[in-house]
Structure 1
Amino acid sequence: MSIAGKRALITGIHGFTGRYMAEELQANGYEVIGLGSQSSEDENYHQVDLADGPALCSLLAQIQPDVVVHLAALAFVGHGAAEAFYQVNLIGTRNLLVAIADCGKELDCVLLASSANVYGNASAGLLTESTPPSPANDYAVSKLAMEHMANLWQGRLPLVITRPFNYTGVGQADNFLLPKIVSHFRRKAEKIELGNLDVWRDFSDVRALVQAYRGLIEAKPLGQTVNVSSGTAYSLREVIEMCKFSTGQDIQVEVNPAFVRANEVKTLCGDNSLLRSLLPGWKTPALDETLGWMLKAK
C-alpha cells in the first residue's frame, strides 16, 4: 500500500511504546494522530477516555484514520485494582472497535497490542501462537478476553493482534526489571536486590518492536495473532554480566526472597517464526546492544 499521506491513530501515544511508535510512523511518511487519557498541548493529540464510548465515536468520525495502533492499556506493573484491567483493556478496547466500525471509513489495518502474558506459567520453552493460553493474573486474563472479544469483529474490521514478549529501551520506567538493573549501574550502586537470577526470558528492543508493528500494518496479515519476540532467552545472571562488561563496574547482587515467585517458569521464550515469515529480514538487536544503548543514554 502507498504510505504517503496515510493517517495513523495511536492510542496511548504518550506511553513508553507509543512515543517510539509515533517516531517510527512519522519517519516512514505517516500523519500521526495521538489519543490518550491525560491532557497535553501536543499537536494532533486528543484527550479522551476509552470508557467514554460516545466521545470515541465522535472523535473517530472526525479523524477518519487509515490505520489504528491500539497501545493504550493498563499495564500489570504496580497496579492493584483488578476491575480496572477489565474496564480499560477489555471494555475500553471494545468501545474503540465500535467507534472504528462506525466512523464511516474503511480502514487498512487495526493493530491491537495484546501480551505474551496470556501464555501464563503453564508452558515452558519456545512458545508459538498455537501454545494454549493459560493466563495467571487479572492483567493477562483481561488481555486474553480482549483477544476473544476482538475476534467477534474479524468480519467487520481489518484486525491484527500482536503478543509482544518482554521488550525494553531508553525511557522505560525503572519498575521494569531491565531498566531497574541499568539504573543501578548508571548510578554506580554498590548492590542490587533481585529475585531468582536463574530464570530465562526473551527480551526485544523497543525500536525493533515498533518496526515490527509498522511492518505488520503494511503486510496486513488480517485475522492473525502474531508473537513479537527475539526468539532468544537470557538469564538475569547474564544480563548482570553484560552490564558489568559494558560499564567495567562490579555490583553485589542480593537475592531478596520477597522477589522470588513460587512456581516460576524457568524459561519463557517466544517463537518468532510467523513474524519473520511475514516480515523477512526483521530482527531485534542483540540484548547487549540494547543494554549498551540504555547504559549510555543521556
Structure 2
Amino acid sequence: MTSAKRALITGITGQDGSYLADLLLEKGYEVHGLMRRTSSISTQRIEHLLCGNQPRVVLHTGDLGDTTSIQRVLKEAQPHEIYHLGAQSHVHHSFTQPLYTADVVALGTLRLLESAIQLAKTQEVRFYNAASSEMFGHATIVPQNEETPFHPRSPYACSKVFGYHQTINHREAYGLYAANGILFNHESPRRGEQFVTRKITLGAARIKVGLQKKLALGNLDAQRDWGFAKDYVEAMWLMLQQPVPGDYVVATNETHTVREFLEETFRLLDLDPAEYVEIDPAFFRPSEVPVLKGDYSKAEKELGWKPATNFKELVRLMVEADLALAQKEAAQSAI
C-alpha cells in the first residue's frame, strides 16, 4: 500500500476536476476519481492522465444518486481528502430538469457527506464541497462575501444552498473537517461548450475559419466575476490544508458583462460581433441573476490565495485554444 496521501475527486472528468487532478499529482498525491458509467466516453479532459501503460489516476464508476456506489468507492479509494465537484452544473438546464438537479446536487452532496462520516470513523478525512456564487442570486450587496445572505434564483442555486448548509452541519454536528468553496464563475479552455464563455470563444473561432456563420446568445448585460479555473483549484487544495476548516469566497473582485467577454473575443480574432451575433430569447433564464462580484479578502488573508490571471489573459487563453481547435476541425473537414 502506497504511503502517498490519497484524494478522491467527484466530477474528475469536468473542467475543475481535471485541473485539480493535475495539481494533486504534481503534489505527489495518489488520485482517485468518481465518474458515472455512460454509453459514451467522456474522459477527454483527463486523457493525458490515462494514456500509456500506467494511468496516473484511478477511476471508479459510481453515481451521486446511488448511496451504495458512493460507499463502495470510498471503501475502495480510502481517501484522506474528498473533493466534491460532481454536479449537474448547468444553471439553464436546472430549470428544465429541476428534480434531477436537486437529487444530484443537493441530495448527492448529503449522500457523500454521510458516507464520509462513516469513513472518518477509521481514518482522517477532509471534505471539500464546491459551493457556487449562484447561491447569492439576486444579491443586493455588492461585492458578495462569506456573510452575504443567499437569494438563489434557480433550481441549481437552491440545490447548492442545501449542500452548502449540509456541509456546515456535518462540520458542526459530527466534527467532520468540511470546507465550502464559494467559487465565482471560472473558465478555461476546458470549459464545457454549453457555457456562455466557451460558447463565445469556440463559436467565434469557428466563424473565423469558416465553419460557422452565426452565434446565438441570450442576455449580454449580465455581469459576472470571471476567473481562471486553474487558479481556483489551488484555492480548493489550500482550504483542506488549514488547521481549522472554513468557508471561503474564491473570486477576482471584478465584474465584466457577457458583452465585454464577447467583444474582447471578437477583437482578438479581428471580427465584428455585429455581423455574426444574434440574440435568441430561448437563452434567457426564467429568473435572471444580474450581478455577481466576489470579495476574496478572507481567502487572501487566511489561505494566502489570490487570482493570478486577469480577465483579458483568460479570454486570450480560451481564444487561442479554441482557434487551434477550430483550425484542426477545418483541416479534418477538408480531407
TM-score by length of 1: 0.90
1:279 equivalenced with 2:303 (yes/no) = yes
**How much does 1:87 deviate?**
1.4
Which stretch shows the higher mean deviation, 161-170 or 190-199?
A: 190-199
**How much does 1:21 deviate?**
1.1
Query: Which residue identity is paired with 1:68?
Result: I
The separation in 2 between residues aligned to 1:131 and 1:185, in whole angstroms, is 36
- Deviation digits for residues 59-101 of structure 1, max 9, x if unmatched? 3233221111001111234242211122112222222122212
The separation in 1 between residues aligned to 2:221 and 2:21, in whole angstroms, is 36
Give the CA RMSD over aligned residues. 2.3
Per the alignment, residue 15 of structure 2 pairs with 16
Which stretch shows the higher mean deviation, 17-26 or 94-103?
A: 94-103
Q: Is the 8 A contact 1:202 1:230 kept in 2?
A: yes
1:132 equivalenced with 2:149 (yes/no) = yes
The separation in 2 between residues aligned to 1:259 and 1:138, in whole angstroms, is 16
Which stretch shows the higher mean deviation, 70-79 or 178-187?
A: 70-79
Q: Secondary structure at the match of 1:267?
A: coil
Q: Secondary structure at the match of 1:161?
A: strand
Q: Is the 8 A contact 2:116 2:125 kept in 1?
A: no
The separation in 2 between residues aligned to 1:182 and 1:101, in whole angstroms, is 42
Give the direction of change, closer, same or farther, for the CA distance of 1:122–1:38 in structure 2 (3 Å limit): same
**How much does 1:120 deviate?**
1.2
Query: Which residue identity is paired with 2:296?
Result: N
**How much does 1:27 deviate?**
1.2
1:251 equivalenced with 2:273 (yes/no) = yes
**How much does 1:177 deviate?**
0.8
Per the alignment, residue 82 of structure 2 pairs with 68
Q: Secondary structure at the match of 2:241?
A: helix
**How much does 1:192 deviate?**
3.1
Give the direction of change, closer, same or farther, for the CA distance of 1:111–1:240 in structure 2 (3 Å limit): same
Q: Secondary structure at the match of 1:198?
A: coil
Q: Secondary structure at the match of 2:93?
A: coil
- Deviation digits for residues 158-201 of structure 1, max 9, x if unmatched? 00011111111112122111111101221125543333333321
The separation in 2 between residues aligned to 1:84 and 1:186, in whole angstroms, is 33
The separation in 2 between residues aligned to 1:220 and 1:238, in whole angstroms, is 40
Query: Which residue identity is paired with 1:247?
Result: L
Q: Secondary structure at the match of 1:111?
A: strand
Give the direction of change, closer, same or farther, for the CA distance of 1:259–1:34 in structure 2 (3 Å limit): closer
Query: Which residue identity is paired with 1:78?
Result: H
**How much does 1:148 deviate?**
2.0
Per the alignment, residue 227 of structure 1 pairs with 249
**How much does 1:108 deviate?**
4.8
Query: Which residue identity is paired with 2:255?
Result: A
**How much does 1:265 deviate?**
4.9
Give the direction of change, closer, same or farther, for the CA distance of 1:21–1:177 in structure 2 (3 Å limit): same
Per the alignment, residue 291 of structure 1 pairs with 315
1:12-91 equivalent positions in 2, closer than 5 A: 12-38=11-37, 43=55, 44-75=58-89, 76-79=91-94, 80-91=96-107
Query: Which residue identity is paired with 1:195?
Result: G
Which of 240, 243, 247 matches 2:262?
Answer: 240
The separation in 2 between residues aligned to 1:260 and 1:98, in whole angstroms, is 37
Which stretch shows the higher mean deviation, 242-251 or 225-234?
A: 242-251
TM-score by length of 2: 0.80
**How much does 1:278 deviate?**
2.0
Greater helix share, 1 or 2?
Answer: 2
Give the direction of change, closer, same or farther, for the CA distance of 1:265–1:35 in structure 2 (3 Å limit): closer
Q: Is the 8 A contact 2:141 2:148 kept in 1?
A: no
The separation in 1 between residues aligned to 2:243 and 2:7, in whole angstroms, is 14
1:105-120 equivalent positions in 2, closer than 5 A: 105-120=122-137
The separation in 2 between residues aligned to 1:220 and 1:203, in whole angstroms, is 29
**How much does 1:57 deviate?**
2.2
1:183 equivalenced with 2:202 (yes/no) = yes
Give the direction of change, closer, same or farther, for the CA distance of 1:261–1:12 in structure 2 (3 Å limit): closer
1:159-238 equivalent positions in 2, closer than 5 A: 159-187=178-206, 188=208, 191-219=214-242, 221-222=244-245, 224-238=246-260
- Identical amino acids, percent of aligned pairs: 29
The separation in 1 between residues aligned to 2:129 and 2:289, in whole angstroms, is 27
Q: Is the 8 A contact 2:251 2:307 kept in 1?
A: no
Query: Which residue identity is paired with 2:128?
Result: L
Q: Is the 8 A contact 1:109 1:220 kept in 2?
A: no
